[in-house]
Protein backbone atom coordinates (compact mmCIF):
# COMPACT_ATOMS: atom_id res chain seq x y z
CA UNK A 1 0.00 0.00 0.00
CA UNK A 2 1.35 3.39 -0.99
CA UNK A 3 1.35 6.30 1.40
CA UNK A 4 -0.24 9.50 0.23
CA UNK A 5 2.01 12.55 0.09
CA UNK A 6 0.49 15.70 1.47
CA UNK A 7 0.94 18.86 -0.59
CA UNK A 8 0.00 22.36 0.47
CA UNK A 9 -1.89 24.49 -2.02
CA UNK A 10 0.57 26.47 -4.19
CA UNK A 11 -0.15 29.92 -2.74
CA UNK A 12 0.07 28.71 0.84
CA UNK A 13 3.45 26.99 0.49
CA UNK A 14 4.99 29.93 -1.35
CA UNK A 15 3.59 32.29 1.29
CA UNK A 16 5.00 30.20 4.15
CA UNK A 17 8.42 30.07 2.48
CA UNK A 18 8.37 33.84 1.92
CA UNK A 19 7.29 34.52 5.50
CA UNK A 20 10.01 32.22 6.83
CA UNK A 21 12.64 33.93 4.68
CA UNK A 22 11.52 37.34 5.96
CA UNK A 23 11.78 36.32 9.62
CA UNK A 24 15.17 34.68 9.11
CA UNK A 25 16.72 37.64 7.27
CA UNK A 26 15.04 40.70 8.78
CA UNK A 27 17.08 43.38 10.46
CA UNK A 28 16.73 43.83 14.18
CA UNK A 29 14.89 46.84 15.50
CA UNK A 30 17.25 49.79 16.11
CA UNK A 31 17.95 50.96 19.63
CA UNK A 32 15.63 53.84 20.58
CA UNK A 33 18.57 56.07 21.54
CA UNK A 34 20.07 55.64 18.04
CA UNK A 35 16.78 56.64 16.42
CA UNK A 36 16.57 59.72 18.67
CA UNK A 37 20.20 60.65 17.89
CA UNK A 38 19.45 60.59 14.16
CA UNK A 39 15.88 61.83 13.94
CA UNK A 40 15.50 63.75 17.19
CA UNK A 41 12.96 63.36 19.98
CA UNK A 42 9.21 63.02 19.53
CA UNK A 43 7.64 66.50 19.20
CA UNK A 44 5.50 65.95 22.32
CA UNK A 45 8.32 64.60 24.54
CA UNK A 46 9.92 66.43 27.47
CA UNK A 47 13.24 66.61 25.61
CA UNK A 48 11.58 68.45 22.73
CA UNK A 49 10.47 71.13 25.19
CA UNK A 50 14.02 71.70 26.43
CA UNK A 51 15.74 71.21 23.04
CA UNK A 52 13.28 72.24 20.31
CA UNK A 53 16.09 72.54 17.74
CA UNK A 54 16.48 68.74 17.86
CA UNK A 55 12.90 68.05 16.78
CA UNK A 56 12.57 67.04 13.14
CA UNK A 57 10.35 69.55 11.38
CA UNK A 58 10.91 68.33 7.87
CA UNK A 59 12.82 65.66 5.96
CA UNK A 60 13.33 66.73 2.35
CA UNK A 61 13.51 63.77 -0.03
CA UNK A 62 16.11 64.55 -2.71
CA UNK A 63 16.21 68.07 -1.28
CA UNK A 64 12.51 68.76 -1.87
CA UNK A 65 12.77 67.47 -5.43
CA UNK A 66 9.15 68.31 -6.25
CA UNK A 67 9.64 71.96 -5.33
CA UNK A 68 13.15 72.52 -6.71
CA UNK A 69 15.40 70.51 -9.05
CA UNK A 70 16.36 67.47 -6.99
CA UNK A 71 19.76 66.90 -5.40
CA UNK A 72 21.04 70.40 -6.22
CA UNK A 73 22.39 73.28 -4.18
CA UNK A 74 19.31 75.23 -5.23
CA UNK A 75 17.10 72.53 -3.71
CA UNK A 76 19.10 72.54 -0.48
CA UNK A 77 18.92 76.34 -0.26
CA UNK A 78 15.16 76.05 -0.75
CA UNK A 79 15.05 73.59 2.17
CA UNK A 80 17.12 75.79 4.47
CA UNK A 81 14.92 78.81 3.70
CA UNK A 82 11.92 76.74 4.81
CA UNK A 83 13.52 75.53 8.05
CA UNK A 84 13.95 71.92 6.97
CA UNK A 85 16.45 70.18 9.22
CA UNK A 86 17.06 66.83 7.46
CA UNK A 87 17.82 66.31 3.76
CA UNK A 88 18.00 62.99 1.95
CA UNK A 89 20.27 62.96 -1.08
CA UNK A 90 21.51 60.42 -3.61
CA UNK A 91 25.18 59.82 -4.47
CA UNK A 92 26.79 58.06 -7.41
CA UNK A 93 30.11 58.34 -9.23
CA UNK A 94 31.21 59.71 -12.57
CA UNK A 95 33.78 57.92 -14.74
CA UNK A 96 36.61 59.99 -13.25
CA UNK A 97 35.53 59.14 -9.71
CA UNK A 98 33.73 62.35 -8.75
CA UNK A 99 30.99 61.83 -6.16
CA UNK A 100 27.96 63.56 -7.60
CA UNK A 101 24.37 63.86 -6.49
CA UNK A 102 21.97 62.07 -8.79
CA UNK A 103 19.11 59.67 -8.16
CA UNK A 104 18.86 58.10 -11.62
CA UNK A 105 21.65 56.40 -13.53
CA UNK A 106 21.21 58.83 -16.40
CA UNK A 107 19.96 62.36 -17.01
CA UNK A 108 17.02 61.77 -19.36
CA UNK A 109 14.29 62.51 -16.81
CA UNK A 110 15.95 65.71 -15.60
CA UNK A 111 17.24 67.11 -18.87
CA UNK A 112 15.22 65.56 -21.67
CA UNK A 113 18.56 64.57 -23.26
CA UNK A 114 19.66 61.05 -24.16
CA UNK A 115 22.26 60.60 -21.40
CA UNK A 116 21.69 57.12 -20.00
CA UNK A 117 24.68 56.52 -17.71
CA UNK A 118 26.77 59.17 -15.94
CA UNK A 119 29.09 56.48 -14.62
CA UNK A 120 30.73 56.27 -18.06
CA UNK A 121 31.17 60.05 -18.38
CA UNK A 122 33.75 62.39 -16.87
CA UNK A 123 32.57 65.16 -14.56
CA UNK A 124 33.77 67.84 -17.01
CA UNK A 125 31.37 66.47 -19.67
CA UNK A 126 28.27 66.61 -17.46
CA UNK A 127 28.88 69.38 -14.92
CA UNK A 128 27.38 72.18 -17.07
CA UNK A 129 24.21 70.40 -18.20
CA UNK A 130 21.00 72.09 -17.03
CA UNK A 131 19.28 69.44 -14.90
CA UNK A 132 16.31 71.67 -14.18
CA UNK A 133 15.23 71.71 -17.83
CA UNK A 134 12.21 69.46 -17.32
CA UNK A 135 11.32 70.48 -13.75
CA UNK A 136 7.81 71.92 -13.25
CA UNK A 137 9.32 75.03 -11.59
CA UNK A 138 12.05 75.52 -14.22
CA UNK A 139 11.16 79.20 -14.67
CA UNK A 140 12.05 79.80 -11.03
CA UNK A 141 15.25 77.69 -11.18
CA UNK A 142 17.21 78.50 -14.34
CA UNK A 143 20.43 76.80 -15.43
CA UNK A 144 20.63 74.39 -12.49
CA UNK A 145 23.73 72.18 -12.51
CA UNK A 146 24.66 68.84 -10.99
CA UNK A 147 26.14 69.07 -7.52
CA UNK A 148 29.18 67.34 -6.05
CA UNK A 149 28.81 65.64 -2.67
CA UNK A 150 31.51 67.80 -1.06
CA UNK A 151 29.77 71.03 -2.10
CA UNK A 152 26.43 69.79 -0.80
CA UNK A 153 27.87 68.66 2.53
CA UNK A 154 29.74 71.94 2.99
CA UNK A 155 26.52 73.90 2.49
CA UNK A 156 24.29 71.63 4.56
CA UNK A 157 26.72 71.31 7.47
CA UNK A 158 27.22 75.09 7.55
CA UNK A 159 23.46 75.41 8.00
CA UNK A 160 23.27 72.60 10.59
CA UNK A 161 21.13 70.39 8.36
CA UNK A 162 21.38 66.66 9.02
CA UNK A 163 21.92 64.46 5.97
CA UNK A 164 20.70 61.01 4.95
CA UNK A 165 22.84 59.67 2.10
CA UNK A 166 21.40 57.10 -0.31
CA UNK A 167 24.27 55.46 -2.20
CA UNK A 168 23.32 54.55 -5.77
CA UNK A 169 25.03 52.02 -7.98
CA UNK A 170 27.57 49.45 -6.92
CA UNK A 171 30.80 51.43 -7.14
CA UNK A 172 32.89 50.71 -4.03
CA UNK A 173 34.48 54.14 -4.30
CA UNK A 174 31.32 55.72 -2.90
CA UNK A 175 31.38 53.43 0.12
CA UNK A 176 35.08 53.99 0.76
CA UNK A 177 34.83 57.76 1.02
Is residue 123 one of the residues assigned to a domain? Answer: yes
Is residue 159 one of the residues assigned to a domain? Answer: yes
- Are the C-beta atoms of residues 148 and 101 closer than 8 Å to each other? yes
Is residue 141 one of the residues assigned to a domain? Answer: yes
Is residue 45 one of the residues assigned to a domain? Answer: no
Is residue 25 one of the residues assigned to a domain? Answer: no
Flag whether pLDDT at 5 surpasses 70.
no
- Work out how many domains the chain is built from and give that number: 1
Is residue 68 one of the residues assigned to a domain? Answer: yes
Domain that holds residue 87: 57-169
- Are the C-beta atoms of residues 72 and 147 closer than 8 Å to each other? yes
127-172 pLDDT per residue, tens: 999 999 999 999 999 899 999 999 999 999 999 999 999 999 876 7
CATH number at residue 72: 3.20.20.190
Of 169, 151, 152, residue with least CA distance to 104: 169
Is residue 39 one of the residues assigned to a domain? Answer: no
Is residue 145 one of the residues assigned to a domain? Answer: yes
| Helix, strand, coil percent content, the chain, rounded in steps of 5 | 40, 10, 50
Model confidence, pTM: 0.77
What is the pLDDT of the chain when averaged over all its residues? 89
DSSP 137-148: TTTTS-S---EE
- Grade residue 92 by pLDDT with cuts at 50, 70 and 90: very high
Amino acid sequence: MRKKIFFLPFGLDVGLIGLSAYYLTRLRKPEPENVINIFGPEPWSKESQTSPEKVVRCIAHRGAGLDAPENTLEAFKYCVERDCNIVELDVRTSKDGKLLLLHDQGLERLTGKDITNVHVMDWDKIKDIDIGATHPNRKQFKEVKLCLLDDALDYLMAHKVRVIIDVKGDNRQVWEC
